[in-house]
Structure 1
Amino acid sequence: MNTVMTADNPQQELQATLLFVDDEPNILSALRRLFRPLGYRIFIAESGAQGLEIFDSEAIDLVISDMRMPVMDGAQFLEQVRLKSPDTVRILLTGYADISSTIDAINKGQIYRYIAKPWEDNDICLTVRHALEQKILEREKARLEELTHKQNEELRDLNANLEEKVKARTEEVRQTMGFLEVAHERLKKSFLTSIRVFSNLMELREGEMSGHSRRVADLAHKLAKRMGMSDTEVQDVMVAALLHDIGQIGLPDKLLHKPFNTLAGEERAAVMKHPVVGQTALMALEQLHGAARLIRSHHERFDGQGFPDALSGLAIPLGARVLTVANEYDAAQQGYLMSKRLNAEDALTFIKEGRGKRYDPQVVDAFLAMLGGGEPVPYEREIALHTGDLKPDMVLTRDLMTRDGLLLLARDYILDDTLIDQLKNYERTDGRPMVVHVKVKG
């Protein structure tokens, strides 16, 4: 099958339809014998009128017409073809004696080419093939021009309306974000309200000593903010303060009202389990994992003599160190720590005496300044440094991660010369500058 390749896909094949018009049957037979093996669809007509009738029922891609025909010669026929089917390729067969008629056909029929008789088979086949290829290219050109025109119109419309569309979309996004923010705030308030309600239910067992968790939460919240903790960390401290005694729910009533320093061995062992029990009770709620970690550590001591994990110094989470001071300041006044209740002044003295032993000195200083029990002291703030600016005893304020998400050092880690050298070596190996967040006085 002889086929023509389309312009946008050279592998796509298109079968062409040819029409031969001549009043001499032998010429028509010769043309049909020449082109039929090439796979074209072929129609023949012995006159111009018969050829025009074929155009009424068939889509003809290319027509070859003899010049000398009775009634309607080739020039007249091809002129009618041009009017009836302008996309059809028109080729004229002519003799050397028909120059003037050929010129007339060129002018009126706007023929693609004329071929002199007798023709060379290879030449006429190539002429037909090239003509059909050009037809396909012109058709594809017209399609692309139409597509380009359509896309340009769409682009002009888009550009004309883009600003309005952007404004409208921006307003939709702003409204949606506003709704989400309102919904988030409502959820946050509902969450905190639920925590407070649950805390109040827990305190129903405490009788006249109820209100301890609310007071601790208020003190811890203020102290955490004074320490420069983030909003998320402050919220974890407050939630942990409200629920810090949740692990005592299963303890007998007699132990709840008995000062810790008067407990017997087995009683003390039972009470010392409550931080772990409290953490475990909250682990099913993902939003409370941060608070649960602080609840576990709120009975740790800065000197390492606390429970349940005997953590010391900055290994104790900062939120837990804050919670410990707030908790024991109120507990001392309620008689939870020792056999007698202390007034507010004596409770504050008790906190001062525990500085560096039971409590983080920095937290105690901030607490005293907050309550007016001491001179205001500058609390530490966070700065970002390159490894070349790090000094021993600086404390990390954030987890130090690799760019692949691996933990190098955890927050609250105290740097020394060896660690600083290791960080510098890692930075050289990684090929990227490292930024380390540490605490400084400010």
Structure 2
Amino acid sequence: MNDIRQTQPTLLYVDDEELACKYFARTVGADYEVLLATSSDEAIAILEQENARIAVLVTDFRMPGRDGGDLLRQVALEYPHIVRILVTAYADVEMLLRTVNTGEVFRILEKPLKPAAVRDTLQLAFERYHERAMQNQRLIAIDETLAFIAHELNTPLAAIALNAHSIEDRTDAQRDAEGEILGAAKSMRESAQYCMAVVSSFWRSVHNGRRQPEGDEARIESTAHGLISALLDTYPFTTAQRSWVQVDVDSDFAVLAQPNCVALVLSSLLSNALRALAEVRSPSVRFTVTTEPHPSIGICDNGPGIPPEIKDRLLTDPITTHAKSGGNGLGLILCNRVMQSCGGGLRIESTPGGGTTVVLDFPHIKGQTHRSC
């Protein structure tokens, strides 16, 4: 009998009335293993020992000492994998709204408990628990796969960068009078370092994003300014390049769709801008963030600009002005597709000798709060 009970789904029921505890256990005991507690403190003591096998918490609200709302908040913080249900006989609207809106509770059961309602709610709760567990396993698998891919890519990239640096050090200036070997080695090293930074940054952003709380309402909000700041903190600038970059924020906004992919778009566009400024006397790159007339991020450089016949084809045809350094013309096309998948798009404004501005347009988000910096 004990072996059978160990395989049953487990829930914890909390009520200061012992008769209520016995009634609940008798109602659902045939389908679930029920652990009982008569106070919030006793429930926490049980959770400290048994949290790994407890899938659902059902707690009364009105109890002496710490009430059920306080218990729900602690469990949501310390054991977010547990699905939480509140039992109450009181029409406390403010309490109910607070617990629902903050994601502290999955369902609310009203006293006196009705066996059919209890069974239906528990079935939904355990389904939610299993969905979360499966999703978490998938995320762990994705995380481990990305870490493996990052390692497998960064290892040869690091070797390329190291070998290129060695070639730079050993190149004889007299034999390489036109600087072809030195230039090629430098380009190879910088490209390898950039690729390593992109791979590491993407894996880190996905990995850190996965570690957010698992409650239904929990979200980590990425903002346009936040994505730019993270990019500038991790981008492999040369000694001088970082001083070229400035950021102007008129009003910030949340990037809710594919922020990791948007971060890669920003990295690619920054790389293009820095490459265009290689021969400019006073180089400058300026990021602008605004919500008027619609949410957008602009990247403006004072480089040589783009000829009209090339600019008009950049988002449709694989055309590049950097073939010698490995460009294939697909970067801006892919960046535009990412933005389109987010409900926005990409615009390019440029004139020869007048610099280039690339604008990432984002869709309006109804009810979004704009924050000025």
Structure 1 length as normaliser, TM-score?
0.32
Higher RCO, 1 vs 2 (CA within 8 Å, ≥6 residues apart): 2
The structure with the larger Rg is 1
Higher strand share: 2
